[in-house]
Amino acid sequence: MRSIAIGLLGAGNVGCGVLRLLEDNAEAIAARIGARVVVKHVLLRHPGARRAFDIPASAKVTDAQTVLDDPDVRVIVEVMGGLEPARGYVMQALAHRKHVVSANKALLGTHGKELFAEATRRGVTIHFEAAVAGGIPILRTLREGLASDRILGITGIINGTSNFVLDAMTRTGASYADAVQAAQEAGFAEADPTMDVSGVDAAQKLALLALVAFGLRVDPTAIPTEGITRVEPVDVQSAAALGCVIRSIAHAELVDGRRLRARVHPVLVPTLHVLAGVYGSYNAVLVNSAALGRSLYYGRGAGMMPTGTAVVSDLVEVCRSVVAFADRGPPPEALGTIADVVPISNGDERHENYLRVRVPNVPGVLAAVAGCLGRHGVSIKRLYQDPRGPELPVDMVLVTEAIEDVRLRGALAEIDALETTLVPTMRLRLLPPEPLDG
Ligand SMILES: NC(=O)c1ccc[n+]([C@@H]2O[C@H](COP(=O)([O-])OP(=O)(O)OC[C@H]3O[C@@H](n4cnc5c(N)ncnc54)[C@H](OP(=O)(O)O)[C@@H]3O)[C@@H](O)[C@H]2O)c1
């Protein structure tokens, strides 16, 4: 049987999972490809460090050029993370007509345009299943499983850290800070969790989902993004009283068949909604497509072996095309025609909203807040107060009737300008309930 040489850039968490799977499933993988995968080089920063997979000394290298300039190497697997030098290495690999498999959403979100253009120019492909929702094969599902259908919208829980934190706050009543610490202790949050809890990581993944689902390329920094850092126990308790849990979702949809609406933010999810049942660090992606309707994809969004499976599945696909096209030229471009877009404004979107207004315990505050809402045409559907004691501030919790975003924002600006509003008002959209009978 012939063999295909690959080079691994990095062998940390994900890279060791890749090596483990390639070793444990070597025979099955070779049978699926029609060739053996040989890991010829593994680029490392600290070749002497102990790791989860015992890498043969002959494969370890510290000079990237050894991997990138080797004409035997047909596929580069980039699992080192970060923007530089990863971007430069991937560009060099593509320039040498090597296929690339990457797990790096930050790299593809930031430099995707340049990298995909280079891949197309060189007649090679970039696969990135592991960059979105870890082990869930969502990109392959969108690209192939639903190739016969038209994707209309995607709503996902695609940041496991945020979901772990919100779920821990719901289950244990913990504060945000304590829940983050629990996530760190359980290995589900980085020492600096900013990228995750700010929503930036989810926006990067959402941009990749939109690219594959709709053929629309959006700069992740242009996606309206709110993190979970302002969620307090009072919000979690109030959500429960309303029959909801708080989840951080990433949403993208096609408007008029060609415009993109996208946003990342925490939301109140009714407990009967399928996304309310996504616990801990799990991910889920709910896809709405024209013919199939709604379909749900659920699984581990991170971790050595789940993410490793996504990388190795990409590798199998790429190696199959290397075998199939070896003598007949390059494989076809996987993504089709791509249009660059800016997401449309979300101002006209109508939602019911949860508002938590923190005010002093004095007469007249409710009337002032209600006045602000009324002037912008926002009707109150439900209202209650969370009294903390006579001397302490009060959390006034309101649910609005469905209202255009732009009008709600006008009302919130007025509410937050009131002398009696003690902290910026917490606003969370309410996700409409799922029709249970489909
Ligand atoms: N961890 C997950 O669950 C997960 C899930 C989905 C996607 N991803 C993505 O997968 C990628 C890798 O994540 P990870 O968790 O595996 O990271 P990691 O554990 O920090 O591993 C990074 C590896 O790359 C090597 N490396 C980094 N910079 C290097 C440089 N300049 N030169 C040579 N080697 C370098 C490191 O070498 P040394 O070990 O010698 O220092 C290490 O082996 C990231 O893009 C991440 O976003 C991760």
pLDDT (tens digit per residue) in 222-237: 999 999 999 999 999 9
What confidence score (pLDDT) does residue 333 get?
A: 52
What confidence score (pLDDT) does residue 327 get?
A: 45
Using DSSP's 3-state secondary structure scheme, residue 87 falls into helix
* Ligand 1 atom at shortest distance from the alpha carbon of 80: 24
State pTM to two decimals.
0.95
Positive or negative, the Cα torsion across 194, 343, 247, 267? positive
Specify whether 86 is located in the same domain as 7: yes
What confidence score (pLDDT) does residue 279 get?
A: 97
How far from 21 is each of 172, 282, 292, 414, CA to CA, in Å? 36, 21, 33, 57
Specify whether 187 is located in the same domain as 235: yes
In angstroms, what is the span from residue 274 Cα to ligand 1's centroid?
A: 33
| Alpha-carbon span 398 to 372, nearest angstrom | 13
What confidence score (pLDDT) does residue 389 get?
A: 61
| Alpha-carbon span 42 to 47, nearest angstrom | 9
Specify whether 189 is located in the same domain as 241: yes
Specify whether 101 is located in the same domain as 30: yes
List the 293-300 sheet strands across, edge first: 293-300, 282-289, 151-157, 244-255, 259-270, 426-430, 353-359, 394-400, 380-386
Nearest to 384 by CA among 233, 230, 174, 242: 242
> Quick check: is 345 in a domain?
no
In angstroms, what is the span from residue 216 Cα to ligand 1's centroid?
A: 28
205 catalytically annotated: yes
Ligand 1, CB cutoff 6 Å, lining residues: 10-15, 43-46, 49, 79-81, 85, 103-105, 130-131, 134, 302-303, 307
- The CATH number assigned to the domain holding 68 equals 3.40.50.720
Specify whether 221 is located in the same domain as 91: no
Residue nearest to atom 47 of ligand 1 (CA): 104
What confidence score (pLDDT) does residue 125 get?
A: 92
The count of structural domains within the chain is 3
Specify whether 190 is located in the same domain as 246: yes
Specify whether the CB–CB gap between 228 and 248 falls below 8 A.
yes
What confidence score (pLDDT) does residue 435 get?
A: 62
> Quick check: is 437 in a domain?
no
Cβ contacts of residue 147 below 8 Å, gap of 6+? none
Q: Of the listed 60, 105, 205, 381, which one is catalytic?
A: 205
Specify whether 250 is located in the same domain as 216: yes
Residue nearest to atom 32 of ligand 1 (CA): 45
What confidence score (pLDDT) does residue 35 get?
A: 97
Q: Token match 């060099």: residue?
A: 92
> Quick check: is 438 in a domain?
no
Instruction: Label residue 391 exposed, middle or buried (CB < 10 Å: 0-12, 13-18, 19+).
Output: exposed
Low-confidence ranges of the chain (pLDDT < 50): 327, 329
Specify whether 296 is located in the same domain as 308: no
In angstroms, what is the span from residue 32 Cα to ligand 1's centroid?
A: 27
In angstroms, what is the span from residue 189 Cα to ligand 1's centroid?
A: 15
- The CATH number assigned to the domain holding 281 equals 3.30.360.10
Specify whether 181 is located in the same domain as 269: yes
Give the domain extent around 31: 3-134+304-336
Task: Dump strand ranges (E) for 317-379.
Answer: 339-340, 350-351, 353-359
Specify whether 180 is located in the same domain as 285: yes
What confidence score (pLDDT) does residue 390 get?
A: 62
